[in-house]
Amino acid sequence: MEWRHKDLLDVTQLNKEEVQHIFETATYFQEINSRPVKKVPTLKGHSVVLFFAEASTRTKTSFDMAGKRLSCDTFSLAKSSSSLTKGETLKDTALTLQAMNPDGIVLRHWASGASQFLAERLDCSIINAGDGRHAHPTQALLDGFTLYQEWGSLEGKTVLILGDIAHSRVARSNLILMNKMGAKVRFCGPRTLLPPQIRKWDAEVYTDINEACKGVDAIMCLRLQLERQQDGLLPDLREYSNYFGLGHKQIELANPDVKIMHPGPMNRGVEINSELADCEASLVLDQVASGVATRMALLYLYLTRKK
């Protein structure tokens, strides 16, 4: 497939065939990641700036490792070490980076739309690694790829996304991707953590965790994003855990071979029972491994496209 996209801003840009192509490409790179020597010269001579204006462990390290395993030069830039702390605008920072002629910029930013802002102004590829509450396309792709490896297809499956939906860019991106690949999506959380327009989304919405878990094929817990929340949305963490934390009772209500997921970082004992996070049905660490392969696929596709 000839890759036609300059930037990855949201999964809405991709059709089903393109997502499938990413999965197939990631499958190839997953095999490379299992070799004794995990490095190929595929992107030798290319360079990528990892510009993370928000804190990140998994996404940043995953992109860094993905680039290095493809022999791509990666350069990390955090807000604390950039001129943003001195009052420089995002535009001027990006133009400065472009003057150094990178092939791509992976951007995480607290402002929704930041990646699109850069994509409209820069010639190099922009890959959105999370922008505000808007989108996290690479997380959705790696989540989808993780389930694709388990099932072979997402068609006809039911996936429950549980927790802080209102503040989650992961929930929005996963909804679009799962629906695109033929899966049904359910959302469940406290009313105060559900977006006002959620009833218009293409998903079933629950406020009772036990009802939401009945017959599902996968359950994805979300982190409580307390840093984005206003006071008063939750009485306390203990009450949240009692009513919306994933436990053994909910797993018994789901399909027998249900898969358990979490994009991380996890708050054990709050969003998910610690034993479940480590059980055989858990795909949490598989998601991390899939993240490297998926991001290798994305760097390859976007950096080698015909211009």
- Which residues carry a binding-site annotation for carbamoyl phosphate? 58-59, 108, 136, 139, 264-265
- For every residue of 43-112, which 3-state class applies, written as one string? CCCCEEEEEECCCCCHHHHHHHHHHHHCCCEEEEEEHHHCHHHHCCCHHHHHHHHHHCCCCEEEEEECCC
- Extract the annotated binding site for L-aspartate: 86, 169, 223
- Extract the annotated binding site: 58-59, 86, 108, 136, 139, 169, 223, 264-265
